[in-house]
Amino acid sequence: MIQCYPFELLPLPWLYDALEPHMDTETMFFHHSRHLKTYVDNLNRLLKPYPAFHDWTLERLLTENKSLPEEIRQDVRNNAGGVYSHQFFFSGMTPNSTKLSGKLKNALLLDFDTWEAFYEVVFEMSLKLFGSGWLWLAADRRGKLVLLTLPNQDTPLPIELSPILNLDLWEHAYYLKHKNMRAPYIKAWFQVINWYEAERRYQAILLENALQNKPSSPCCE
């Protein structure tokens, strides 16, 4: 879905209590209706006096952030990143049981050998991230997988990586249920990952890369 100013608080793809017992209802409510809404409202407030950027998508606001006026550049980066990352995070989870499959499974096992190895790397990277930020599973222009953590509301988009999955590692994502204990929250997230959506995203990345790399047809004389 392409979004431009004024941005809206998109509804969750499931009810607030749908991810119980892994993700608690109270956290989902405040995370979506308060935290995400604040990012949406702040982004609209920042962009309102600048009609030249009203047709920019979230992705463009992030990838071409340096083209924005200096007085709003960092705040737009923070809030557009907050909107993009949270929407991506919420739509990457599901109350239904899904399994890693398809081309994403093949790519993941190629890099990590086993599911258990992938799990351990993600768990340790997420646990060790200092302060607030996100863990991302993304792909480069060749379709090769990349795992990385980024601080605050930074996304992989400006470094030309296409996201597949992300995990919110800000304390507001887990504090109501787990207090300052990040480890059980990471384990809970693994129980609600929407692997079907992750596979769809990865397939879309591969298709886009193939179209971009397709040689042009020779012109007829």
Q: Is the pLDDT of residue 212 over 90?
A: no
As a whole number, mean pLDDT of residues 119-134 equals: 98
Q: Which of 178, 194, 172, 152 is nearest to 18 (CA)?
A: 194
Q: Is the pLDDT of residue 14 over 90?
A: yes
pLDDT at 215 over 70: no
* Per-residue pLDDT tens over the stretch 186-203: 999 999 999 999 999 999
Dump strand ranges (E) for the chain: 133-139, 145-151, 162-168
- What's the mean pLDDT in 74-103? 98
**What's the pLDDT at 17?**
98
Residue 221 is predicted with a pLDDT of: 39
Q: One fold for both 25-91 and 102-210?
A: no
Answer whether residue 1 shows pLDDT above 80. Answer: no
**pLDDT, average across residues 70-80:** 98
Average predicted confidence (pLDDT) for the chain: 95
pLDDT score recorded for residue 220: 42
Q: For the chain, how big is the Rg over CA atoms in Å? A: 18
Please report, for the chain, the start and end positions of each structural domain, with discontinuous segments joined by +.
Answer: 25-91, 102-210
Average pLDDT over residues 150-175: 98
Averaged pLDDT for residues 4-26: 98
- Of the candidate CATH numbers 1.10.287.990, 3.30.700.30, 3.40.1280.10, 3.40.190.10, the domain formed by 25-91 belongs to 1.10.287.990
Asked whether residue 21 carries a pLDDT value surpassing 70, the answer given is yes
User: pLDDT band at 211, cuts 50/70/90?
Assistant: confident
Distance (Å, whole) CA 147 – CA 88: 16
pTM of the predicted model as reported, rounded to 2 decimal places: 0.95
pLDDT at 160: 96
Higher pLDDT, 1 or 123: 123
pLDDT digits 0-9 by tens, 98-114: 999 999 999 999 999 99
Q: How far is Cα 156 from Cα 140, in angstroms, rounded to an integer?
A: 10
Tell me the CATH number for domain 102-210: 3.55.40.20
Which 8-state DSSP code applies to residue 53? G
* Per-residue confidence (pLDDT) for residue 217, from 0 to 100: 52
| Euclidean distance between CA atoms 45 and 168, whole angstroms | 24
Tell me the pLDDT band of 210, cut-offs 50, 70 and 90. Answer: confident
